[in-house]
Structure 1
Amino acid sequence: MANYVVGDLQGCFTPLKQLLQEVAFNPARDHLYLVGDIVARGPDSLGCLDFVFRHQDCTTITLGNHDLHLICNVMLGNAPNPKDKLDDLYKHSKLPEYLRYLSSQPLCVYLEKYRTFISHAGIHPEWQIEQALSLGQWAQQKYMGNEASQFLPAMYGKESRLVLDKDEQSRFNTIVNVFTRMRFLTSQWHLDFDNKGTLDDAGELRPWFTHPRFQTDQNRYIFGHWAALQGITHVPNVTALDTGCVWGGPMTLLDLDKNEQISSN
C-alpha cells in the first residue's frame, strides 16, 4: 500500500493521469490525498471531478477555495465564470452527485503514521494541530449540512484577524480563510488577502510558514494553493505542492512512504 499527495489539479486531468501511471497507482491498494482546488481554470474540470468521484474509496480531498466556490455558486444558481471553464461540468447529469461528494470532504487532515498535516492553504501559526482539526470539523458540519445555504454565500470577505468567538458566521469565515486562502501574514500574524507573489515579494509581510513555531515543530505540513512559490518554502518540514500546473508548470506528486516528489512533464 502506498500513500500519495498531489498538488492543485485545477482541471488539469492529463498530468494527473500521467503521474498516477508513473507511480503505478492501484486504487485497490493505494490512497491518494489531494490538497484541493480540483476544479476551475484548467481544460478538464469534469474529468478531474469525475475521477475523484469514481475513486472516492481511495481518495481524500482537503477542499480548496475553488471547490467551495463551485459548491456555493451551483447552490445559488449562478452561471459559471467563463475563465473557470466549467460549462461541461455544469451541464453534466452527475453534477449534484459530484457536489454532494465534494461537500463531504474535510478542510484538513492529519496522518498519524507520517505525522503529517494536510490542507489546501496551510495552518495558522497560532493553531496547534488538534485545534485546527477541531475547527475544520466544525466548519465542515456547516458546509455539508442544512446550514450550507446560510454559511457558504456569506463566506467571502477580508477580515484579516482570527475571529472565532464573535458569531458563527465570522468563525466559519475565519476557518475557511485560513485553510483555503491564506498566504502571507502581517507582522501581527493577521491574514493578508492581496499579495499572491513569491517569497521575494513579501516586503513587510511574512509567509505563514516562516513563523518560529515551524522551526522546531516535529510534524510535517503539506499544502497547495500558492503556485507562485513553485514548490519552494525553505522550511524543511513544510512542503508546497502547487507548482502551477494550470499556469504552464508541472503537477507535483509526493510519495509519502519514500518521501520523494515526482513532477509531470
Structure 2
Amino acid sequence: MSTYLVGDIHGCYDELRALLKQVEFTPKQDTLWLTGDLVARGPRSLEVLRYIRSLGSSVRMVLGNHDLHLLAVFAGISSNTLKDRLRALLQAEEANQLIDWLRCQPLLQVDKEKKLVMTHAGITPQWDLETAKACAYELESVLASDRYPIFLDAMYGDMPNHWTPELKGLSRLRFIATALTRMRFCFPNGQLDMHLKEAPNFAVPPLRPWFAIPSKLPNGYTQIFGHWASLEGKGTPQSIIGLDTGCCWGGVLTLLHWEGQRYYTQASNCHQMKDIVPMKYSF
C-alpha cells in the first residue's frame, strides 16, 4: 500500500496515466495525492476530471486556482479563453456532474499519521495549522453549498492581502482562496504580495517566498504544494516540497512515492506549449 503525491496536472492526461503506470499505481491498494490545478493549459482536462473522479476514495486532492476558475467559467461568471483549453470539458454531457463533484473537493489535506499537509499554493506564515484547517473548511462549505456562485463572483482580486481574524464575509473568503491557491511571495510580517509571479531570484527585498518565512505549523510535518512551476521543485526547505514542475509548459509531471522517498517524472507531450511564456494570472 503506497502513497503517491503528484504535482499540478493541468489537463496533461496522457502524462498522468504514463506516470502512474511507471509506479504500477493500484487504486484499490494505493492512495493518490494531487496538489490541485487538475485542469486548464493542457489538452485533456475533461479526461483528467473523468479519471480522477472515477478513482473515488483512492484520491486525496485539493483545489487550485485554475480549478476555481473553471467553476467560475461554468457558472457564467468568468470567460473561457483559448489558452484555458476548457471547451471540451464545458461542452461534455456530464459537465454538470463533474463540476458539482469538483466544487465539493477540499482545499487542505492533513494526515496526522504520515505528518503530511497539502494545499495548492502553501500555507501563509500568518496561520497555524488549526487556523488553516478552519479557514479551509469555511471556504469548502461555501463552495459545496448553493451559495457558491456568490463567492465565485467576488473571488477575483488581490485584496485583502493581510490576515486578521476580524475579516468577514466575502473579503474573508477571498483572502482564504488567495492564500491557499495563489500565494507565492510575502513580506516579512506574512502579508501577501500578489504582483510578483516569477522565480525567487526575481524578488526584491523585503519580499521573500512564503516558505522562506518561519512557519507556525507543528514540528515534524511536511508541507506539499504545487502552483509555482518556475521553482521546478527546487529551493525549498527540506520539510516543504513543491511538486509543480511545469508539465503543461513542456516540463515534466512529477510524482513522489512517499514511503520510498523516491521521485518519478514523466516528460511532457505538450509540444505546442514549450515555446509559450507562462501567462501572468489575473487572479
Would you call these one fold, judging by a TM-score over 0.5?
A: yes
Question: Structure 2: how far apart are the matches of 1:102 and 1:251?
Answer: 21
Question: Structure 2: how far apart are the matches of 1:3 and 1:100?
Answer: 26
TM-score normalised over the length of structure 2: 0.90
Segments of structure 1 that go 5 or more residues without pairing to the other structure are: none
In structure 2, do the counterparts of structure 1 residues 138 and 200 end up closer, same or farther at CA, with 3 Å as the change threshold?
same
Deviation at 1:77, TM superposition (A): 6.3
Number of corresponding residues = 265
Instruction: Name the counterpart of 1:228.
Output: 230
Question: Structure 2: how far apart are the matches of 1:57 and 1:35?
Answer: 16
Instruction: Name the counterpart of 1:239.
Output: 241
Any idea what SS the aligned residue of 2:5 has? strand
Instruction: Name the counterpart of 1:251.
Output: 253
Between structures 1 and 2, the one with greater helix share: 1
Question: Structure 1: how far apart are the matches of 2:144 and 2:72?
Answer: 11
Instruction: Name the counterpart of 2:126.
Output: 126
Q: Residue by residue, what CA displacement relative to the aligned partner does 1:198-236 show, whole Å, maximum 9, x if unpaired?
A: 121111111000113379932100000000100013300
CA RMSD of aligned residues (A): 1.6
**Percentage of matched positions with identical amino acids:** 35
Deviation at 1:26, TM superposition (A): 0.5
In structure 2, do the counterparts of structure 1 residues 152 and 216 end up closer, same or farther at CA, with 3 Å as the change threshold?
closer
Amino acid at match of 2:144: M
Amino acid at match of 1:255: H
Q: Residue by residue, what CA displacement relative to the aligned partner does 1:130-182 show, whole Å, maximum 9, x if unpaired?
A: 22111101110011101101111101111121254232111101110000000
Instruction: Name the counterpart of 2:67.
Output: 67
**Residues 1:81 and 2:69 are matched in the alignment:** no
In structure 2, do the counterparts of structure 1 residues 164 and 4 end up closer, same or farther at CA, with 3 Å as the change threshold?
same
Instruction: Name the counterpart of 2:213.
Output: 211
Amino acid at match of 1:145: S
Maintained 8 Å contact 1:163/1:174: no
Any idea what SS the aligned residue of 1:24 has? coil
Runs of 4+ deviating beyond 6 Å: none
Amino acid at match of 1:6: V
